[in-house]
Structure 1
Amino acid sequence: MRSHFWNRSAAVMAITAMAACGGGGGGSSEGAADEAGEAAAAAAVDPATVGTISGLANFGGMVPTMAPIDMSAEEDCAAGYGGDGPMNQNLLVSNGGLANVFVYLSEGVSAAPAASGAAMLSQSSCRYAPHVLGVQSGQDIEITNSDNLLHNINASPTENRGFNISQPRAGITSTQRFPMAEVMVPIRCDVHGWMQAYIGVVDHPYFAVTGADGSYSIANVPTGDYTMTAWHEEMGTMTASVTVTAGGMAEVSFDYNSEMMGANVPMGDALVIGHGTNRIRVERTQ
């Protein structure tokens, strides 16, 4: 592993720039304005020109047993899990349905409304929630530390600019955004190596993440012919064609199986802040 160091002044400028990107929640007037904007956007959708896409992500074959997460070093976090304790989230199957599959229109979208509202990513009980998040390019992402201990958010995109933000205590929220489409952006916490999440960034709002039962639904899709892509961190990607009709319900499902395991998304170079030293280093894995 090779490490490259920036000088102190550059590091201070970088940390200042990252801090400028953060922010807390807006006041009540801002919240009311956001709600009014979302309501106006919803009212502007003509149901005679849009349809809905729904379906399932199915998993066939024997489901591998997920490895437990050792949180013994963080007793408060470990106490939040019952039964067998916290387990890895890279393959969650329930009654044949596969969770955490990011489904989106990858071809055919000619125009899209601007993003409204903010997406939420929480660090809770030493895990990211949700594990997979979809956002529109340029949309605010509010990242909150809900644990009363140190976390950091290390984003390692390829197309967008990465960031690494320290959140040393509960209640801290940082607002970030990615201006360009990118599927996927890996997120991790360098303090707790098991904490990983993925953010799918697309140029439109026609996306979804499958729930615990593998189901998804994408509403208000303009009529037309599209290509859909489904992404999963262990299964890679699958595509399908779909036609949306006015007022119609198009169904598209994706079938995964245990033989497709192993298509992990690579994590990018880590941007690491040396707390207390104002130095930044880029740790390259190759």
Structure 2
Amino acid sequence: MVTLDGTAPKNEGIKMNADPVCVRENKTPQFQETYMVGSDGKSLANVFVYVKDGLGNYVYDAPTEPARIDQKSCRYHPHVFGMRVGQPLEILNSDPTLHNIHALPKGNSEFNTGQPIQGMKTTHTFDKPEVMVPFKCDVHGWMNAYVGVLPHPYFAVTKDDGKFELGNLPPGTYTVEAWHEKLGATTQSVTLGQKETKEITFSFKPAGPTATD
């Protein structure tokens, strides 16, 4: 589980006035998805949790089924996700307006793909592990997303309840990392025996101004 030890900073409001399509597609006020806290006020969503070290020489074939990111209602869906090295990434524009998806990796090749037509799909791959690769839209500056690219399947993204599961790990000692886009990363070591299950909790402290109302 991943929790927030303190009060979450306010998520920044989004002004979409520059594109009438974006205004039309969103009937309610929109906010960034930076600090997504559950109803309990503690559980933290959009945290990428993965095995950072300990798998040794295990080799895992890349899936042929693509990972997917959609540009819908002038937002990226999902905001945080994971995929595998060599796995296809399918990028969809579901909006009747121009989007471009601009990947800004440090270890992989940068790409910047325009999609001016609703329903357009393009595919990219990443050749190297990298946690995390940010995406942005140069047309709509509020749009952002993050992907963790790994050579193995042991990763997850927390939901509103802050929970995650890294299933079917072989016995061994592992370094597990939890990454948040603003709060940084923290690690824990866990040792698993044959068919053993353990629960671990990561706790982040909020940074910056906190909500007071």
TM-score calculated relative to the size of structure 1: 0.69
User: 1:65 matched to which residue of 2?
Assistant: 10
- From the superposition, tell whether residues 194 and 243 of structure 1 become closer, same or farther in structure 2 (CA, over 3 Å): same
How many residue pairs get matched? 205
CA shift at 1:82, angstroms?
4.8
- RMSD (Å) for aligned C-alpha atoms: 1.5
In structure 2, the gaps of 5 or more residues are none
Work out which of the residue numbers 8, 23, 29 in structure 2 matches 1:78: 23
SS in 1 for 2:142: coil
The residue identity in structure 2 corresponding to 1:63 is: A
2:37 pairs with 1:89: no
For structure 1, the residue ranges without an aligned partner over 5 or more in a row are 1-55, 263-286
Matched, 1:115 2:62: yes
Distance 1:78 1:60 in 2: 35
Identity in percent? 43
**Cα distance in 2, alignment partners of residues 221 and 97 from structure 1:** 24
Structure whose residues are more often helix by fraction = 1
TM-score of the aligned structures, taking structure 2 as reference length? 0.91
Distance 1:210 1:82 in 2: 27
Tell me which residue corresponds to 1:207.
Answer: 155
User: Structure 1, residues 157-182: CA drift from partner, whole Å, max 9, x if none?
Assistant: 11001100000011111111101001
Aligned amino acid, residue 14 of structure 2: I
Distance 2:54 2:26 in 1: 43
Within the alignment, does 1:247 sit opposite 2:195 as a pair? yes
State which structure, 1 or 2, has the greater radius of gyration over its C-alpha atoms.
Answer: 1
Matched, 1:139 2:87: yes
Q: Does the CA contact (< 8 Å) of 1:115 and 1:205 recur in 2? A: no
TM alignment of 1:99-178, pairs within 5 A: 99-110=45-56, 111-116=58-63, 117-178=65-126
